[in-house]
Chains A and B, each alone.
Chain A
Amino acid sequence: EVQLVESGGGLVQPGGSLRLSCAACGFTFSNYWMHWVRQAPGKGLVWVSRINSDGSNTGYADSVKGRFTISRDNAKNTLYLQMNSLRAEDTAVYYCARLLVGARIDYWGQGTLVTVSS
Protein backbone atom coordinates (compact mmCIF):
# COMPACT_ATOMS: atom_id res chain seq x y z
CA GLU A 1 0.00 0.00 0.00
CA VAL A 2 1.33 3.40 -0.96
CA GLN A 3 1.82 5.73 1.99
CA LEU A 4 3.18 9.25 2.30
CA VAL A 5 3.70 10.47 5.84
CA GLU A 6 4.71 14.07 6.50
CA SER A 7 6.36 15.35 9.65
CA GLY A 8 8.19 18.41 10.89
CA GLY A 9 5.39 20.94 11.03
CA GLY A 10 4.81 23.21 13.99
CA LEU A 11 4.81 26.76 15.29
CA VAL A 12 7.66 29.00 14.19
CA GLN A 13 8.30 32.72 14.50
CA PRO A 14 8.44 34.98 11.44
CA GLY A 15 11.90 34.81 9.92
CA GLY A 16 12.48 31.35 11.31
CA SER A 17 13.18 28.04 9.61
CA LEU A 18 11.60 24.61 9.50
CA ARG A 19 12.32 21.38 7.64
CA LEU A 20 9.49 19.15 6.56
CA SER A 21 9.97 15.48 5.79
CA CYS A 22 7.81 13.04 3.86
CA ALA A 23 8.47 9.35 4.33
CA ALA A 24 7.32 7.24 1.40
CA CYS A 25 6.61 3.53 1.26
CA GLY A 26 4.72 1.03 -0.84
CA PHE A 27 6.24 2.06 -4.16
CA THR A 28 9.61 2.59 -5.83
CA PHE A 29 10.21 6.12 -4.58
CA SER A 30 13.19 6.75 -6.85
CA ASN A 31 11.02 6.35 -9.96
CA TYR A 32 8.69 9.27 -9.28
CA TRP A 33 8.70 13.05 -9.38
CA MET A 34 7.44 14.40 -6.08
CA HIS A 35 5.74 17.65 -5.13
CA TRP A 36 4.76 19.79 -2.17
CA VAL A 37 1.33 21.43 -2.21
CA ARG A 38 0.04 23.69 0.56
CA GLN A 39 -3.35 24.87 1.76
CA ALA A 40 -3.75 27.91 3.98
CA PRO A 41 -6.55 27.67 6.57
CA GLY A 42 -9.90 27.90 4.79
CA LYS A 43 -8.22 28.48 1.44
CA GLY A 44 -7.49 26.53 -1.72
CA LEU A 45 -4.66 24.30 -2.87
CA VAL A 46 -1.43 25.91 -4.04
CA TRP A 47 1.54 24.16 -5.62
CA VAL A 48 4.81 24.90 -3.83
CA SER A 49 7.65 22.88 -5.33
CA ARG A 50 8.63 19.83 -7.37
CA ILE A 51 11.64 17.59 -7.76
CA ASN A 52 12.44 15.01 -10.40
CA SER A 53 13.15 11.39 -9.67
CA ASP A 54 16.90 11.66 -9.11
CA GLY A 55 16.85 15.11 -7.51
CA SER A 56 18.69 16.88 -10.32
CA ASN A 57 15.82 19.12 -11.37
CA THR A 58 13.69 21.27 -9.09
CA GLY A 59 11.04 23.94 -9.47
CA TYR A 60 9.35 26.45 -7.18
CA ALA A 61 6.35 28.72 -7.04
CA ASP A 62 7.36 32.39 -7.20
CA SER A 63 6.06 32.93 -3.67
CA VAL A 64 8.68 30.61 -2.16
CA LYS A 65 11.56 30.89 -4.63
CA GLY A 66 14.82 31.71 -2.87
CA ARG A 67 13.42 30.79 0.55
CA PHE A 68 12.40 27.13 0.21
CA THR A 69 14.54 24.22 -0.97
CA ILE A 70 13.18 20.83 -2.01
CA SER A 71 15.38 17.75 -1.86
CA ARG A 72 15.14 13.99 -1.60
CA ASP A 73 17.07 11.01 -0.32
CA ASN A 74 16.17 8.03 -2.47
CA ALA A 75 18.13 5.68 -0.22
CA LYS A 76 15.86 6.70 2.66
CA ASN A 77 12.69 7.04 0.55
CA THR A 78 12.24 10.52 1.94
CA LEU A 79 11.30 13.89 0.49
CA TYR A 80 12.24 17.15 2.22
CA LEU A 81 11.27 20.80 2.18
CA GLN A 82 13.64 23.22 3.87
CA MET A 83 11.77 26.43 4.61
CA ASN A 84 13.73 29.55 5.54
CA SER A 85 12.74 33.19 6.15
CA LEU A 86 9.22 32.08 6.96
CA ARG A 87 6.39 34.58 6.77
CA ALA A 88 2.88 34.66 8.20
CA GLU A 89 1.51 33.93 4.73
CA ASP A 90 3.39 30.61 4.69
CA THR A 91 0.98 29.33 7.36
CA ALA A 92 -0.69 26.30 5.84
CA VAL A 93 -1.08 22.56 5.81
CA TYR A 94 1.73 21.20 3.65
CA TYR A 95 1.01 18.06 1.64
CA CYS A 96 3.55 15.76 0.09
CA ALA A 97 2.22 14.44 -3.22
CA ARG A 98 3.08 11.88 -5.87
CA LEU A 99 2.24 13.34 -9.25
CA LEU A 100 2.04 10.94 -12.18
CA VAL A 101 1.65 13.27 -15.15
CA GLY A 102 0.19 16.71 -15.75
CA ALA A 103 -1.67 17.57 -12.55
CA ARG A 104 -2.64 13.99 -11.79
CA ILE A 105 -1.81 13.44 -8.13
CA ASP A 106 -2.65 9.88 -7.26
CA TYR A 107 -1.36 9.89 -3.69
CA TRP A 108 -1.30 12.61 -1.02
CA GLY A 109 0.10 12.57 2.46
CA GLN A 110 -2.09 13.45 5.43
CA GLY A 111 -0.52 16.90 5.62
CA THR A 112 1.49 18.69 8.29
CA LEU A 113 0.51 22.08 9.69
CA VAL A 114 3.01 24.93 9.66
CA THR A 115 2.05 28.00 11.66
CA VAL A 116 4.17 31.14 11.37
CA SER A 117 3.34 33.50 14.18
CA SER A 118 4.98 35.49 16.94
Chain B
Amino acid sequence: QSVLTQPPSASGTPGQRVTISCSGSSSNIGSNYVYWYQQLPGTAPKLLIYSNNQRPSGVPDRFSGSKSGTSASLAISGLRSEDEADYYCATWDDSLSGPVFGGGTKLTVL
Protein backbone atom coordinates (compact mmCIF):
# COMPACT_ATOMS: atom_id res chain seq x y z
CA GLN B 1 0.00 0.00 0.00
CA SER B 2 1.48 3.32 -1.14
CA VAL B 3 1.89 6.33 1.14
CA LEU B 4 0.25 8.61 -1.44
CA THR B 5 -3.14 7.68 -2.87
CA GLN B 6 -3.91 7.86 -6.59
CA PRO B 7 -6.77 6.40 -8.62
CA PRO B 8 -5.55 3.21 -10.34
CA SER B 9 -6.87 4.26 -13.73
CA ALA B 10 -8.04 7.20 -15.79
CA SER B 11 -9.12 7.56 -19.39
CA GLY B 12 -10.07 10.07 -22.01
CA THR B 13 -10.46 10.56 -25.72
CA PRO B 14 -8.03 12.50 -27.91
CA GLY B 15 -8.31 16.23 -27.33
CA GLN B 16 -9.98 15.87 -23.93
CA ARG B 17 -8.70 17.13 -20.61
CA VAL B 18 -8.08 14.63 -17.83
CA THR B 19 -6.98 15.08 -14.25
CA ILE B 20 -5.25 12.67 -11.89
CA SER B 21 -5.46 13.22 -8.16
CA CYS B 22 -2.93 12.46 -5.44
CA SER B 23 -3.73 12.49 -1.74
CA GLY B 24 -1.29 12.50 1.15
CA SER B 25 -0.87 13.84 4.66
CA SER B 26 0.61 16.73 6.61
CA SER B 27 4.00 15.00 6.85
CA ASN B 28 4.40 14.68 3.10
CA ILE B 29 2.29 16.66 0.61
CA GLY B 30 1.15 19.07 3.31
CA SER B 31 4.68 20.30 3.96
CA ASN B 32 6.63 19.59 0.80
CA TYR B 33 6.60 20.11 -2.96
CA VAL B 34 4.86 17.59 -5.20
CA TYR B 35 6.41 15.99 -8.27
CA TRP B 36 4.87 14.02 -11.11
CA TYR B 37 6.49 11.30 -13.22
CA GLN B 38 5.43 9.66 -16.47
CA GLN B 39 6.46 6.07 -17.11
CA LEU B 40 6.08 4.50 -20.52
CA PRO B 41 6.05 0.68 -20.67
CA GLY B 42 9.45 -0.88 -20.12
CA THR B 43 11.20 2.42 -19.42
CA ALA B 44 12.37 4.38 -16.40
CA PRO B 45 10.14 7.17 -15.10
CA LYS B 46 10.55 10.66 -16.51
CA LEU B 47 10.08 13.86 -14.52
CA LEU B 48 6.98 15.68 -15.74
CA ILE B 49 6.28 18.30 -13.06
CA TYR B 50 8.44 19.59 -10.21
CA SER B 51 7.81 21.96 -7.31
CA ASN B 52 4.02 21.48 -7.60
CA ASN B 53 3.55 23.18 -10.95
CA GLN B 54 6.83 23.66 -12.81
CA ARG B 55 7.68 21.89 -16.05
CA PRO B 56 11.21 20.82 -16.96
CA SER B 57 12.33 21.99 -20.36
CA GLY B 58 10.92 19.82 -23.10
CA VAL B 59 7.69 18.96 -21.31
CA PRO B 60 4.70 20.33 -23.26
CA ASP B 61 2.52 22.94 -21.59
CA ARG B 62 -0.40 20.54 -21.99
CA PHE B 63 0.81 19.13 -18.68
CA SER B 64 0.13 21.15 -15.53
CA GLY B 65 0.24 20.50 -11.80
CA SER B 66 -1.38 22.00 -8.76
CA LYS B 67 -1.42 21.47 -5.01
CA SER B 68 -3.81 22.38 -2.25
CA GLY B 69 -3.30 21.35 1.36
CA THR B 70 -2.53 17.65 1.45
CA SER B 71 -3.67 16.92 -2.10
CA ALA B 72 -2.32 17.53 -5.56
CA SER B 73 -3.41 16.96 -9.11
CA LEU B 74 -1.99 16.56 -12.57
CA ALA B 75 -3.95 17.85 -15.54
CA ILE B 76 -3.36 16.85 -19.13
CA SER B 77 -5.16 18.89 -21.76
CA GLY B 78 -5.43 18.17 -25.46
CA LEU B 79 -4.98 14.46 -24.77
CA ARG B 80 -2.85 12.59 -27.31
CA SER B 81 -2.31 8.89 -27.91
CA GLU B 82 1.32 9.18 -26.83
CA ASP B 83 0.17 10.30 -23.38
CA GLU B 84 -0.93 6.74 -22.66
CA ALA B 85 1.34 5.78 -19.76
CA ASP B 86 1.52 5.33 -16.00
CA TYR B 87 1.67 8.51 -13.93
CA TYR B 88 3.09 8.75 -10.42
CA CYS B 89 2.97 11.55 -7.88
CA ALA B 90 5.81 11.89 -5.40
CA THR B 91 6.95 14.06 -2.55
CA TRP B 92 9.35 14.06 0.39
CA ASP B 93 8.08 12.55 3.61
CA ASP B 94 9.40 14.17 6.77
CA SER B 95 8.61 11.12 8.92
CA LEU B 96 10.35 8.69 6.57
CA SER B 97 13.18 11.09 5.64
CA GLY B 98 12.84 9.84 2.12
CA PRO B 99 10.70 10.30 -0.99
CA VAL B 100 7.31 8.63 -1.19
CA PHE B 101 5.31 7.77 -4.27
CA GLY B 102 1.72 7.23 -5.19
CA GLY B 103 0.58 3.84 -6.42
CA GLY B 104 0.41 5.10 -9.98
CA THR B 105 -2.44 5.86 -12.37
CA LYS B 106 -2.67 4.07 -15.70
CA LEU B 107 -3.93 6.53 -18.31
CA THR B 108 -5.70 5.08 -21.31
CA VAL B 109 -6.41 7.15 -24.39
CA LEU B 110 -9.56 5.73 -25.91
Contacts and interface: CB of A to CB of B under 8 A. Distances in A.
Interface in B72-101: 88, 90-92, 96-101
Interface string B34-51: 110100000011110011
A103 B100 contact: yes
Interface residues of B, number: 26
A110 interface: yes
A102 B33 contact: yes
Q: State which size class the interface on A falls in.
A: 20 to 34
B104 interface: yes
Interface string A35-54: 10100000111110010000
Interface centre among A61, A103, A104 (most CB of B within 10 A): A103
Contacts of B99: 35, 37, 47, 99, 102-103, 105
Interface of A: 35, 37, 43-47, 50, 59, 61, 95, 99, 102-106, 108-111
